[in-house]
Amino acid sequence: MSTVDSAVGIALLFPDLLGTYGDSGNATILAERLRWRGFEATPVTVRSGDAVPAGCDVYVVGGGEDLPQALAARQLGPPRTGPLCEAVDRGAAVLAVCAGLQVLGESFVGGDGVRVDGAGLLDLTTERGRGPRSVGEVVVDPVPALGLPALTGYENHGGVTVLGPGTSPLGHVRRGVGNGDGSGTDGAWSGRVLGTYLHGPVLARNPALADLVLGWVVGDLAPVDDAEVLELRGERLHAALGPRRRGRWRP
Ligand code: GLN
């Protein structure tokens, strides 16, 4: 199902609408981590107005402001229809951040108070939060089934996301807000569709998350030298959580 023979197709959806926080870097990181392992990667940038290709292996959706987010949702079409949903049905993976997470859900309330249909790929809805925006560093302990170390990132959102029974949270928030519904969770995960409130870009700060998503589509991955990024992670976790205490966090 790749775009070019055996190359892995990585579609970056609507960076002109959902690119405010540098989340487009997630697509670059996926492509580079594949190339380091000898895979061919074909990045496909899908701008607003372009048709979404159904044949890619990984789809990346970033964060953005309320109005562009509603425009992006409209382009994906009614819930559970369209090329993105077809791709997921065929086994493609999706990584969505903040506005992207909200857009993949059943519905969200835009800045004008109007409810907008989402893609219906994740069993969640997003409401307008009543308090101040959630802004700042976040540390998330992923659910054990994902086998990931702590996730570091930052958040900046007004939406509050409530998960339905059809999806698992990505993890539990140790610092920050995340979904903000009182459950202490961040993000959502169902099959090969994964969403989070973490910007960073999240895959730059969390290479294990990048490799989890890549592993879903290409299988086992050879290890790569992540010494530099592990040092950066250590700095971020230290800044967010304070000095490391035995067993508190893994870089
Ligand atoms: N517009 C959305 C909100 O404020 C998403 C923001 C974002 O993507 N950072 O909730």
pLDDT at 244: 62
Over the stretch 53-91, which tens digit does the pLDDT of each residue have? Answer: 999 999 999 999 999 999 999 999 999 999 999 999 999
Q: How far is CA 174 from the centre of its chain?
A: 18
H helix count then E strand count, the chain: 7, 14
**How many angstroms separate the CA atoms of 250 and 62, rounded?**
26
Report whether pLDDT(170) > 70: yes
Among 22, 220, 233, 32, smallest CA distance to 137 is for 233
Q: Output the CA 224–ligand 1 centroid distance in Å.
A: 33
Query: Is residue 118 in some structural domain?
Result: yes
* pLDDT above 90 as % of the chain: 91
Which of ligand 1's atoms lies nearest the C-alpha of 66?
A: 1
Partnered with residue 76 across adjacent β-strands are none
Catalytic site includes residue 199: yes
pLDDT at 166: 96
The domain that contains 207 carries what CATH number? 3.40.50.880
What is the average per-residue pLDDT within 161-169? 98
91: left (phi over 0), alpha (psi -120 to 50) or beta: left
Residues 32/214, Cβ–Cβ less than 8 Å: no
State the Cα angle at 200 between 194 and 205, rounded to 5°.
80
pLDDT at 251: 47
Token pair of 213, please? 């998503």
**How many angstroms separate the CA atoms of 96 and 114, rounded?**
22
Query: Is residue 131 in some structural domain?
Result: yes
Number of domains in the chain: 1
What is the average per-residue pLDDT within 188-203? 98
CA-CA-CA-CA torsion sign (120, 110, 60, 139): negative
What is the average per-residue pLDDT within 125-150? 97
Query: Is residue 74 in some structural domain?
Result: yes
Token pair of 130, please? 């009543």
What is the average per-residue pLDDT within 184-191? 98
CA-CA-CA-CA torsion sign (143, 230, 31, 155): positive
Q: Which domain, by its residues, includes 62? A: 8-248
Query: Is residue 3 in some structural domain?
Result: no
Q: Considering the chain, what is the average pLDDT of its residues?
A: 94
Closest residue CA from atom 5 of ligand 1 = 99
What is the average per-residue pLDDT within 106-118? 94
pLDDT at 3: 42
State the Cα angle at 93 between 249 and 51, rounded to 5°.
135
Catalytic residue selected from 56, 85, 98, 157 = 98
Query: Is residue 1 in some structural domain?
Result: no
Report whether pLDDT(2) > 70: no
Looking up tokens 């994906």 gives: 76
Report whether pLDDT(249) > 80: no
Query: Is residue 115 in some structural domain?
Result: yes
Query: Is residue 2 in some structural domain?
Result: no
Ligand 1 pocket check for 33: Cβ under 6 Å: no
pLDDT band at 1 (very low <50, low <70, confident <90, very high): very low
* pLDDT above 70 as % of the chain: 95
pTM reported for the whole predicted model: 0.94
pLDDT at 242: 85
State the Cα angle at 73 between 76 and 151, rounded to 5°.
105
Query: Is residue 43 in some structural domain?
Result: yes
What is the average per-residue pLDDT within 93-114? 96
Report whether pLDDT(51) > 80: yes
Q: Output the CA 18–ligand 1 centroid distance in Å.
A: 10
